[in-house]
Amino acid sequence: GNSVTQMEGPVTLSEEAFLTINCTYTATGYPSLFWYVQYPGEGLQLLLKATKADDKGSNKGFEATYRKETTSFHLEKGSVQVSDSAVYFCALSLDSSYKLIFGSGTRLLVRP
Amino acid sequence: DTAVSQTPKYLVTQMGNDKSIKCEQNLGHDTMYWYKQDSKKFLKIMFSYNNKELIINETVPNRFSPKSPDKAHLNLHINSLELGDSAVYFCASSQDLVADTDTQYFGPGTRLTVL
């Protein structure tokens, strides 16, 4: 079936450290891939997305590249801030599908 | 100018009760969704509605009955609540049905606790 696997959290980093959150997927067909972020007490917000292989999504200093050969969409940021502390969800959807399939979420905690 | 709003934010109730969660979006979107997030943070779709018509029902027990009085509202009614229903329920909306091109906007969530 179609699924998304994320690295277990929490991930704890110091401010200005480099961030990687791993995400791999299993899908029949060619999915679009997404990263959503959930700040404390809030709903999910779209962070970035990529709709085809080799596309790079980017927003607010975060980047992720759609790697078809490794079925991955890892999230990276060069220098994290305390305000980046949140739960990050990787997700996929398939062509003309009506739903998102989410990973289990990875909590990021950035310390000053 | 909240885009997707849900009420209540917290709901604590006894097993066997019936409860409702309301969702409203002011984005003019045609499609609305309900997601359930369990204690391990797994987020799974329950229902989606497009122009007030049910599109997705992901094998949710029939104790859960969504109701869409108009395109801007999608309420979730739950009968005979069980302990396993305890979760955070998120409402979302998007302009159209196609998940790979349409951004979904989420509400802040309703934390339901069944005692």
Instruction: Give the model's pLDDT for residue A67.
Output: 96
What does the alpha-carbon distance between residue B90 and residue B113 come to, in Å, rounded to a whole number? 14
Residue B1 has pLDDT above 70, yes or no: no
The chain A residue lying nearest B37, using CA atoms, is A104
Predicted confidence band at B80 (pLDDT cuts at 50, 70, 90)? Answer: very high
What is the interface size between A and B, counted as CB pairs within 8 Å?
A: 63
Tokens representing B72 are: 């801007």
Inspect the interface and report whether the beta carbons of A96 and B100 lie closer than 8 Å: yes
- Label the pairing between strands A56-59 and A62-65: antiparallel
Are A45 and B107 in contact (CB < 8 Å)?
no
The pLDDT of B63-72, averaged and rounded, is 92
- For chain A, where are the E strands, in sequence order? 3-6, 11-14, 19-21, 23-26, 32-38, 44-50, 56-59, 62-65, 75-77, 86-93, 101-102, 106-111
Checking if the pLDDT of B51 tops 70, the result is: yes
A111 contacts A11 by C-beta, under 8 angstroms = no
Q: Which helix (H) or strand (E) holds B6?
A: strand B4-7
| Cβ-based neighbours of B87, under 8 Å, separated by 6 or more | B36, B37, B38, B39, B111, B112
Measuring CA to CA, how many Å separate A31 from each of A51, B33, B50, B80, B101? 7, 20, 22, 37, 11
B2, B35, B38, B41: best mutation site toward chain A, by most A Cβ within 10 Å? B41
Question: Is any Cβ of chain B less than 8 angstroms from the Cβ of A48?
Answer: no
Nearest-Cα distance to chain A for B18, in Å, is 25
Q: Each residue's pLDDT tens digit in chain A (112 positions)? A: 889 999 888 999 999 999 999 999 999 888 899 999 999 878 889 999 998 899 999 999 999 999 999 999 999 999 999 999 999 999 998 866 667 889 999 999 999 9
Structure confidence at residue B98 (pLDDT): 65
Residue with tokens 């969660």: B21
Nearest chain B alpha carbon to A90: B43
Q: Is the pLDDT of residue B64 over 80?
A: yes
Q: What is the pLDDT of residue B99?
A: 59
Dist. CA B43–CA B21, nearest whole Å: 17
User: Residues 6 or more apart from B61 whose CB is under 8 A from it?
Assistant: none
Angle A2-A101-B3 from CA coordinates, rounded to 5°: 165
Residues of A in contact with B92 (CB under 8 A): 43-44
3-class SS of residue B85:
helix
* pLDDT of amino acid B23: 97
Tokens of B27: 């984005």
Q: Is B48 on the interface with A (CB under 8 A)?
A: yes
Residues of chain B in contact with residue A32, where contact means CB-CB under 8 angstroms, are 99-101
Instruction: Give the amino acid at A57.
Output: G
Residue B11 has pLDDT above 90, yes or no: yes
| pLDDT bracket for residue B65 (50, 70, 90) | very high
Residue A42 in contact with partner chain B when CB distance is under 8 A:
yes
- Looking at residue B97, what is its pLDDT? 67
Q: How far is B2 from chain A (nearest CA, A)?
A: 12
Instruction: Give residue for tokens 């069944």.
Output: B114
